[in-house]
Amino acid sequence: MSERVLLLVGTKKGGFILESDAERRDWRVRGPLCEGWPIHDMTHDPSSGAIYAAGGNEWYGPAVWRSDDLGETWTHSSEGITYGDDGPKIRKLWNVTPAHGALYAGADPAGLFRSDDGGATWQHVAGLRDHPTRPEWEGGNGGLCLHSIVPHPVDPRQVWVAISAVGTMHTADAGATWTLRNRGVRACYRPDPYPEFGQCVHKLAMAPGDPALLYEQTHCGVYRSSDGGASWQEITAGLPSQFGFPMTVHPRDPRTIWVIPLNGDDQGRHMPDGRAAVWRSRDGGDSWSDLRAGLPQENAYLGVLREAMAADALDPAGVYLGTGTGQLFASRDEGERWSPVADFLPPIWSVDIAVVGF
């Protein structure tokens, strides 16, 4: 069976799908999809074959789009995506994640929704917003958003989520109750730099084959946990900046991770010195090396958002990143060399991968 590689790209003005074969040299662009809605996240569910896209804004409202023919046609639904008449208005969805036959969606303002019918209808996972700390939750620059959803690969009752700027939380009972998982993570902008909650996590990811091994990029550094988030160790040393948004874990190697350091708040949140680079660790963050070949090295004041980098599971793994100014770059050799795949797309908010047979 031959393989097709699909890049699922969410942008400010709709979704796009770029298609190639397993060589990943030449790409065909399709889009804009989803009627030009703002799309914050796209993903492929290998169990059903469906592609999902989550997005919206204050004008459109929130919705999840679904395609059962690899992006040729789409339907969408927002039924049940509400906090009720007495709750706040949901502005958008930041993430959609399939797991164990269900779908999860993360909202702004922060909340979690679940669908058991492929996205046709949704139910609020109320236990999260019932957490006793919620009245004190505060948003980051992008709002009070639930942006990362990390299901346990075997146990459907367990899910981790990350909220900006609350931190990481975990449920072991299918969302009925939640615990904070922020011990050891700095909140460098607060009087107490290690609070129980209030950390601005930018991206949370799980290592393949080891649900206890988690990584996260925050406003104040890069972290690793070996106990499912119960405690964290900072692994920022060796990077040019503690600030960044995206983080990607190798689909087959739990110790290989990629990050994109950016200048901080008072410097524009772009790649340092105007030289584009992805940084890779092969030892779980104990050491880092910069990968620049093929990326622009002059006047490249690029920003990359939290969902806008991904890796495929081919051998060697492909790595892909999209910028806030519409450039899409790809590496076929785990980041050693890069080439442009598309330019002049709308601002890119997310990148994900689907490898499908035909």
**How is the chain split into domains, by residue range?**
36-313
Could you say which residues of the chain have pLDDT below 70? 1, 358
Euclidean distance between CA atoms 243 and 269, whole angstroms: 8
The amino acid occupying position 20 is S
Query: Which residues on neighbouring strands pair with residue 30, listed in sequence order?
Result: 17
Residues 6 or more apart whose CB falls under 8 angstroms from that of 58 comprise 89, 91, 92
Q: Is the dihedral of CA 294, 348, 124, 127 positive or negative?
A: positive
CA distance 303 to 323: 6
pTM above 0.75, yes or no: yes
**What span, in angstroms and rounded, lies between the C-alpha atoms of 223 and 209?**
19
So what's the pLDDT on residue 358?
62
Residue 1 pLDDT: 63
What is the spatial distance between Cα 159 and Cα 182, in angstroms, rounded to a whole number? 15
Question: Span 36-313: which CATH code?
Answer: 2.130.10.10
